[in-house]
Amino acid sequence: MGKWLDRIDRWVQSAWFWGGLFGVSAAGSLLMLGKATALFQAWAPFSYGLAFWLGLLIALWCIPPLKRLIPKRKSPVDDLANRALATTAIIRAHSVRLPTTIDDAVRSTYSTSLAFRAAGFAFPTFPPDVLPLAILPVAEHYFGAIGMLLRDGHVNEARDLARSLTERQTRLNEGAIGR
């Protein structure tokens, strides 16, 4: 019995170091451990209770640092949202004359629109004679609205909004061609 108590005592002494290292308050845990150890010494049937408290204490010290090591999973929707919001930022930077070229904005718009179409989102098509400068405000509005919805996890609402924006832009394009 003395060998186990010596091991517990060594573990308690090392717990001060680990508790401070990971930012876990060790004082309350060590107080509980001390009471559990005293109870164990006084009455042997409480060894199961001691095992429970030791397991709980170890879990409280080990889980927080391990959670920091586990990478968070990204979904394709997150990537699509980030891409849409980045394209919106590039278009806005071009519109306020920051050091970006129209080529950057058009390339980003085209690339992101292909990614949206591949993901099953509707994206407006434009006649070949439309200048890229006319496409950028539409793309900025589209990617800004859809990107925010996707970032917040509202995929169905984003699809519905994409469909309605595409239909609206198609009607506007047909009206402009008919004039």
pLDDT digit string (tens) for 86-141? 888 888 887 777 656 777 888 888 888 889 889 889 888 877 777 777 788 888 88
Say how far apart CA 57 and CA 62 lie, in whole Å. 9
129 & 62 share domain: no
62 & 84 share domain: no
80 & 64 share domain: no
Of 12-16, 33-37, 119-123, give the range with the top mean pLDDT: 119-123
85 & 171 share domain: yes
Number of folded domains in the chain?
2
29 & 101 share domain: no
42 & 127 share domain: no
89 & 151 share domain: yes
Range of the domain at 151: 76-178
57 & 84 share domain: no
128 & 95 share domain: yes
Tens-digit pLDDT profile for residues 52-67: 877 888 888 877 777 7
126 & 92 share domain: yes
CA–CA distances in Å: residue 144 to residues 24, 69, 120, 176: 42, 33, 18, 24
The more confidently predicted of residues 158 and 75 is 158
